[in-house]
Amino acid sequence: MKDYIESFPEQLRTAIQIGQSAKISFKGQNLSQVCLSGLGGSGIGGSLVQDYVSGLMKIPFFVNKSYEIPRNVNAQTLFIACSYSGNTEETLAAVKQAKKVKAIIVCITSGGALQKFAEQHGYPCILIPSGMPPRACLGYSVTQILYVLAKAGLIQKSFEKEFQDAILTIEKQSTQLNKQGLKLAQKLSKREVLLYTTVGHEGLTVRFKQQLNENSKMLAAHNVIPEMTHNEIVGWRDIQKQRTVVCISAPNDYPANLRRLNFLKKVIKTCQAEIIDVQLLGESFWKDALIFIHLTDWVSWHLSLLNEKDAIEVKVIDRLKSEMSKK
């Protein structure tokens, strides 16, 4: 896992090359919405893109993380099936349903049954490098999703510069980000972890949580402001010395949400929980996102060492897949 984290900038460069050379045409197709189907390491890229396009696209973009597709998916829907292995059973079930309603399908995968499905039915298929844990390949998948949207004329390619800025910053600050990740990991070790963020950063926060789950073998929970300040905040009333709350925000967040976050932190302090602030730069969506992903990947890896766990091992998921394969 350490090698995968270190090679993240190079992964992003390769991903850009793959996306730029992808041969996909949407001429004459009238798109009314975009549905991305994917789970786990293959689906979180869709969640990040959903946050990114919420203020950019004129048509809805939503993520499906189920065996079944929403009933509103139809012949005017751009349906992006994303499965790193190509064998994710929920995504395969969903894309077959999308075919039945004549959706406009694009597949993103490293091979497997999804590639075969695309080839059999003549759907565009963007192939990304294989042989890695899906969660270590976020750079490949999220980049291809953006290029699919750009080639469909739904977004501009301004994300390319944001990616390049992030790559250069990560390379320049690689040692610093690693050390910062270690310091955060030491503060989270042996603690009950809650991740709180503001609207617009939920995809990033879920990615962090998933890395803590899979790499660090830790449970973590997350919630989002302003919604949580209408309910979960009420649960903060007893002493919670065992908890550490990571607050994730950016200086250009909606002002009222930052005020709510500041009030929430006052409430948390009365319960004697530890608070860690992680501030995004606020420069651009993808520069913020990619640097945060790299930093928190380091956090999860250092925690795997502190917890004496193998960051790669996911035996319980393997057992689940074996159980689900039984007839």
Pair 245, 268: CB distance under 8 Å: yes
CA–CA separation, 269 and 247 (whole Å)? 13
**124-141 residue pLDDT tens:** 999 999 999 999 999 999
Question: What is the per-residue pLDDT for 262?
Answer: 98
Confirm whether 230 is a catalytic residue: yes
Confirm whether 116 is a catalytic residue: no
Question: What is the per-residue pLDDT for 291?
Answer: 98
Shared fold status for 2-157 and 166-306 = yes
Confirm whether 192 is a catalytic residue: no
| Closest to 216 (Cα-Cα) out of 300, 101, 290 | 300
Q: From residue 162, how far is each of 28, 43, 155, 206, 233 by CA, in Å? A: 30, 21, 14, 21, 35
CA–CA separation, 83 and 89 (whole Å)? 9
Question: What is the per-residue pLDDT for 327?
Answer: 67
In angstroms, the first-to-last Cα distance of the chain is 34
Question: What is the per-residue pLDDT for 282?
Answer: 92
Q: Which of 121, 172, 190, 230 is catalytic?
A: 230
Q: What is the mean pLDDT of the chain?
A: 96
Domain borders along the chain are 2-157, 166-306
Neighbours of 269 (CB within 10 A): 13
| Closest to 91 (Cα-Cα) out of 116, 60, 113 | 113
Spans of the chain below 50 pLDDT: none
CATH topology of domain 2-157: Rossmann fold (3.40.50)
Pair 273, 241: CB distance under 8 Å: yes
Residue 64: helix, strand or coil by DSSP? Answer: strand
Question: What is the per-residue pLDDT for 326?
Answer: 83
Q: Which of 214, 217, 287, 302 is catalytic?
A: 214
Q: From residue 262, how far is each of 99, 120, 174, 254, 275 by CA, in Å? A: 47, 54, 30, 13, 11
CA–CA separation, 280 and 257 (whole Å)? 15
pTM of the model: 0.96
Find the angle CA(217)-CA(299)-CA(51) to the nearest 5 degrees: 95
**CATH code for the domain defined by 166-306:** 3.40.50.10490
